Structure formats: structure tokens, C-alpha cells
Amino acid sequence: MADTQKTATLTIDGKSYDLPIHSPTGGPDVLDIRKLYGQADVFTYDPGFTSTAACDSTITFIDGEEGILLHRGYPIDQLASESHFLEVCYLLLYGELPDTKELERFETLVTRHTMLHEQMANFFRGFRRDAHPMAIMVGVVGAMSAFYHDSTDINDAHQREVATIRLIAKMPTIAAWAYKYTIGQPFVYPRNDLDYASNFLRMCFAVPAEDYEVNPILARAMDRIFTLHADHEQNASTSTVRLASSSGANPFACIAAGIACLWGPAHGGANQACLEMLKEIGTVDRIPEFIARAKDKNDSYRLMGFGHRVYKNFDPRATVMKQSADEVLELLGVEDNPLLQVAMELEKQALADPYFAEKKLFPNVDFYSGIILEAMGFPTSMFTPIFALARTVGWISQWKEQLADPQLKIGRPRQLYMGEMQRDYVDIENR
């Protein structure tokens, strides 16, 4: 917890209460209200917890006004351009960038834990073939506690570490198998001679009938997608993981809870919404019509993938993602994909329109990641599972940090009760 150097005075019915103010290393000061209920018998009211700090953390810092996203102090654009996903995983988990030996050991650990317990293949087959991949991921990840009993004791440091490696290593296999199952193709097992992103692409697109060579440009783009979605501070799914963890739940249950929350269209479905918008526009000649609607203050329509709820200036992840999008589209072309033609022209027209510049409605990471995944051949139903795969390391990092916090206690939000007070039961014949 940051040092307390200031206080605020709250007066209720003529009685004053001094509340500590904590000054963080970055971001606004935080008013400490933990003793307010005990002293003044009042709660605070904050729907959505948008003005409430539920924890202190050293993992990720966001300044939405300035367009800043830092992981352990390192800017996200530097990490996405110069580093790679597993190195960022190490940074998030352990607080520092690894040296050569530390990174090699970590990568080896992850690589050698990518296979799933063979019996889990039968668990996949219990789902309907038309099940959404996210439904499968929620079930399979939650069920990992039934297969890996030796890494569920949250009070054992070694078991926490084993669970950490297993989740990061096996999530690509789980996501790829969920995809394969829904399209009726056989599962493809991971290979230890491939890097993390290449392994995932191969497990998604390889078939037994022929060899599959992973294009390095596509692998790099996928690695960047993973890196740019690795953690995003105390968002809805991360808070869900922390809340589940506060009860002492095992790590697999906590991550499954995070996946379930991420599934919500207001959270993890943003890049899918972008592709659905492009499908609605349909053809390049209709773009001016939709831009005009987005600019009309009397029309509720808005362009998905432009602007961001958190970043009021620009999304710092978007610049790197645009570079990858350009590389992927140059490699694969857009001539035979009307959707990508619409995306490229929409980006061009929006960036050239003074209205969007004035409102700071620039393309965000979801716009570009949706374009990349569409170009690679992923159906929109796989966009959120890929997001969940990438965000797993962030969830685990937050989970580990919370378990090490001496202030940890079970989450118990309060409420503003507006219902009836005590009433006497009336027999049904007298109602």
C-alpha cells in the first residue's frame, strides 16, 4: 500500500471523520474508506465500481487520458515491437524482464506442458458439435481441477507455480481443440519444436492429410495479438478472477470464471463486433452512409473499433497492431475478401475525416486484431477464445499477486437496499 501523507475529512450529520488518502506511483490519489462503515455506519455507492480501487497492484498501469499502458513500467508498444509473448508473460508473472537463462528455462517449462491429459479429449466430445468455443473453454478449464489434483492447493507455493505454467502452456491447446471440435476436424497435438504462437496456429489449421508450415509473418502477428491483450489492469474479467480467488477457489476455477466474464459482448467481444459492423456495411460504396450516421448526433449508431472506453486520446496498442495488420494483409491480400476491402477503406476514410480526429475516434486494437484474425481464416466465434488465451497470463499474475497480499479478505460488496422491510407471511388462501 502506498504511503499515507494526506487525509480528507468527511462530515455526516455534524460529525467529522478523517479518512486517509494514499498517493500511488501513478494515477489519481485514493481515498481509504475501509473504516468508514465501522466508524460512521454508512456505505459508499459506486455502481460498476468505476471510482473504487479494490486492491493495490504493481502489475499494470493505465492512463487513459494520455494513452499510456505500462506492464511493470514498460510501455506496451515497446514490448509488442521488441519483445515476444512468453517474455512478457515472464515480466507480468515475476516483475522483471528475464535474462537469457531465465527466459530459456521459462520457455522450456511452458513448451513441455502444452499437452493435455489424454482423457480430456473425451471431455471435449461431451459437447454438442455446434457449441460455442467459449462454452467449451469455460467447461474444460474449470474441469482441469479434476485432472490436475497436484496443483490446486493455493497455500502451496510450488503448486501455485505448477498451476501457473500449466494454464499458460495448455490454454492454446484448449482453444485450438475447441475450434477443431466445432468444425469437425481431428485434434492436432502440440509440437515442442515450435514457438508459442506458431504452435497455436498449427493446432488450429493443420490437418493429418498434409504438412502445415507456419508463415513467420502470421506467427509474429499472432504473437503481437497475444502480447497486446496480456493484461489490462482491473477490468471486469480480472476483477472476476480476483473475486473468485478471494474465496480460496482453486486456480482453474478462478480462470474459468474469468473466461465466463470475458465472454460478455461488452467485454471480450469487441473485435467480433467490429467484424459484424463490417458485414453490416457490406460494400465499400456504403461506407460514406455509415460514417454520416456515426457523425449524426440524432442517430445512435456508432462505428465499432473506433475510440475506446478507457483511452480518451489514442489506444497505445493500436499502432503496433496496425503494423501487423498491414503486414498480414500484404501477405494474404484482400482481393477475394470484401470484408477486408471494407475495413481498409473505412480506416482510410475515417482517419482522413476531421470529425474523427477532433473526437479522437481513432481505430483501436480491436479494429486491427479483428481484421488480422479474419484474414488468417478464424471465424468470429474464435475471436474471444483467442482473447481469453492471451489474457490468461494477466489473470494468473493478478491471482498470484492477490494471494500474496497480507490484506487479502473475501470480496463482499455492499448494496443500497431499496426493497420492502419485514412483512408477515400470509397464507395463500388469504392473499
In the block, cell 463482499 appears at 412
Residue 119 is which amino acid?
A: Q
In the block, cell 515476444 appears at 84
Residue 308 is a catalytic residue: yes
Cβ contacts of 317 within 8 Å, gap of 6 or more: 69, 76, 77, 80, 228, 364, 365
Contact 202, 180 (CB under 8 A): no
Q: Where are the alpha helices (DSSP H) in 95-193?
A: 100-111, 120-124, 133-143, 157-182
Point out the catalytic residue in the list 231, 232, 308, 315. 308
Q: Which of 231, 240, 251, 233 is nearest to 403 (CA)?
A: 251
Residue 158 is a catalytic residue: no
Contact 172, 203 (CB under 8 A): yes
Q: What is the radius of gyration, based on Cα positions, of the chain?
A: 24
Task: Quote the strand ranges of 176-288, DSSP E.
Answer: none
Point out the catalytic residue in the list 366, 405, 424, 427. 366
Which cell numbers in the block locate residue 173?
491447446
Residues acting as catalytic residues: 308, 366
